[in-house]
Amino acid sequence: MINQAQPVNIKGIREGLLVTVDALSFEQILSQLQTELAEKHLFLRGSRVALQLGKRPLRKSQLKQIQAVFEQYGLELWALLTDHQETRIVAREMNLGTRLAGSLTDLDGNKLTSPA
């Protein structure tokens, strides 16, 4: 058992599930997602997932691999929350949302300096 904070955190939100990944390499993200989803897939199956990446950059091919992992366990990746502009563009190209309703971001996913 790891004594540190969990590298993959899954919590319920109004829109489905919010999956947050810690500062991991891409290979570690895939491995940790596989582990977490294998343990919890019966409970999570059928859920919509928003993946929170922070500032981590990912290429389209990497996002497709992550999306395939979610699909393997019956989950739908519908949004990608990221502070990395190029990754946000790739998410839009894949028809993924880039913000949650009611979030303090503009339509491009940039943090607002003050509430609108």
Q: Is residue 66 part of a domain?
A: yes
- Taking the C-alpha atoms of residue 90 and residue 17, their distance in angstroms, rounded to an integer, is 21
Q: Is residue 104 part of a domain?
A: no
Burial state string for 1-20 with b = 16 or more CB within 10 A and e = fewer than 16: eeeeeebbebeeeebbbbbb
Dig out the tokens for 57 from the structure: 């950059």
Q: Is residue 108 part of a domain?
A: no
Question: What CATH number did the domain enclosing 27 receive?
Answer: 3.30.750.50
The pLDDT of residue 99: 84
Averaged pLDDT score across all residues of the chain = 86
State what percent of residues in the chain have pLDDT above 90. Answer: 65
Is pTM, for the whole model, over 0.85? no
The pLDDT of residue 103: 62
Q: Is residue 33 part of a domain?
A: yes
Q: Is residue 44 part of a domain?
A: yes
Beta carbons of 79 and 96 less than 8 angstroms apart = yes
Helix, strand and coil content of the chain, in percent to the nearest 5, comes to 35, 25, 40
For the stretch 68-115, pLDDT in tens is: 999 999 999 999 999 999 999 999 999 999 988 766 566 565 666 665
Supply the range of the domain harboring residue 76.
Answer: 8-93
Q: Is residue 77 part of a domain?
A: yes
Domain count, the chain: 1
Q: Rg for the chain (alpha carbons), in Å?
A: 14
Report the SS3 class of residue 62. Answer: helix
